Amino acid sequence: MKKIFFCLIALLPALAFGQAAQPFTVKAKIGKLNAPAKAYLVYRLGANNVTDSAAIKDGEFIMTGLAMNPVSASLFIDYKGVGFPAYIAKNFPDGGPSKTADLLNFYIEKGTINITSPDSAAKAEVNGTPSNEDNKKLKAGLKTIMDKAQRLMAEAQSAKPEQQQSAAYQNSMQAKFKVIQAEQKAFLKTFITQNPNSYLSLLALTSVSGPAPDVAEVEPLYESLSASLKDTEQARQIKGAIDGLKLTAIGALAPDFTQNDVNGLPVKLSSFKGKYVLLDFWASWCGPCRQENPNVVRTYNKYKNKNFTILGVSLDRESGRSAWLAAIKNDGLTWTQVSDLKYWNNLAATVYGVQSIPQNFLIDPTGKIIAKGLRGDDLDNKLAELLGKYTN
Q: Which phi and psi (to 5°) does residue 361 adopt? A: -135, 130
**330/294 Cα distance (integer angstroms):** 11
**142/56 Cα distance (integer angstroms):** 33
Name, in order, each residue with C-beta under 8 angstroms of 329's C-beta and a sequence gap of 6 or more.
none
Average pLDDT over residues 59-72: 89
For domain 258-391, the CATH class is: alpha beta
Rg, C-alpha atoms of the chain = 25
Residue 17 has pLDDT above 50, yes or no: no
Q: Are 349 and 252 in contact (CB under 8 A)?
A: no
For the chain, what's the residue count? 392
pTM: 0.68
Percent over 70 (pLDDT), the chain: 93
User: Where do the CATH 3.40.30.10 domains begin and end in the chain?
Assistant: 258-391
Point out the least confidently predicted range of 98-107, 160-169, 184-193: 160-169
**346/356 Cα distance (integer angstroms):** 12
Interval 212-238: pLDDT, tens:
678 888 999 999 999 989 988 888 888
User: Where do the CATH 2.60.40.1110 domains begin and end in the chain?
Assistant: 7-131
Could you name the CATH architecture of 7-131? Sandwich (2.60)
Percent over 90 (pLDDT), the chain: 67
pLDDT at position 296, please? 95
Interval 28-51: pLDDT, tens:
999 999 999 999 999 988 778 899
